[in-house]
Amino acid sequence: MAAVGAGAEKPPLPWRERLLVRAVSVLHSMSLRRDGTVNRFLLSLFDQIVPPTTAPDAAGVSSSDHAVSEQIRVRLFVPTVATSDGRELPVVLYFHGGGFVFHSAASAQFDALCRRYASAIPAVFASVDYRLAPESRFPAPYDDGTAALRWVLTGAGGAVPSPPATVFVMGDSAGGNVAHHVAARLPSRVVGLIALQPFFAGETPTASEQRLRDAPFGSPERITWLWRAFLPPGATRDHEAANVPAAIRRDAETYRAFPPTMLCIGGWDAHQDRQRAYADALRFAGAEEVLVEEFPDAIHGFYILDSLADSKRLIAEVAEFVNRRR
């Protein structure tokens, strides 16, 4: 692959999307305090929260909120469309991004994202409101995700068939990291994993992290803050939660039973080298299938921007991955 950014200083984004990405990046940075806490009041002023909609929206998707436990909530998105072959809709357990620190299943951008995918595939989406750092560190999101997966597998309190015919695990950025670890805990119960630009790390900087340090969401200082907020006190970024490719290679035998995996990589994403290392590690371990989809012009988090052609292409690729296995 040619060096990303050759002949260009900035990713090819329309000006409206560029301004939005800049605003989100500034907001995130302003909310991260030097003492390791988060200014959640400031964040709440801009992180729009939307309620569930019991009536189907224009795309035919309704939503409802459910309690898995006292600390875990899941928002279910159910498309009204019936499948042409009469089979049950697949269920996709979704984990939102945000560096383990930001956002929720009710954040407007993730609510809208799940609606788009639920309608297009079509599939039932179960978006998990896992606990956030720094208030809840490792392994809280993994524990919450595992509990949510077990809840879905037993019928989601009657909201889906018990047990559902097929269950996928999907996540973006930090949510892609959570999705990986949840799938690794219960690999035999997951039909496939979809990881959109998953957030991994390591102590030694990669070439893409150095080259794209000024790209959207690529700031080394910001990344360092997020990992310090999430990992156990004193842990380095070579911890198994962060340096997932190294962890897979150390325990390769276990990953032979890992479910088929679709990995999305963006050419303007500082994390891309670690994502490719993840795919290589799964192949090294003998995982059943690893499908890598490259988006050379894409920044980190591009799938949130539904106006982009790459976002639309990604939806089609995910739908094809799911529907081949349902």
Active-site residue numbers? 173, 269, 300
SS3 236: coil
Backbone torsions φ then ψ of 66, nearest 5 degrees = -135, 145
What is the Cα–Cα distance from 64 to 298, expressed in whole angstroms?
A: 32
CB atoms within 10 A of CB 151: 22
Report whether 193 contacts 261 (CB < 8 A): yes
Q: How many helices (H) and strands (E) does the chain have?
A: 10, 8
User: Among 183, 191, 172, 188, which residue's Cα sits nearest to residue 275?
Assistant: 172
Report whether 151 contacts 74 (CB < 8 A): yes
Q: Report DSSP letters for 32-60, one per residue.
A: B-TTS-B-HHHHHHHS-B----SS--TTS
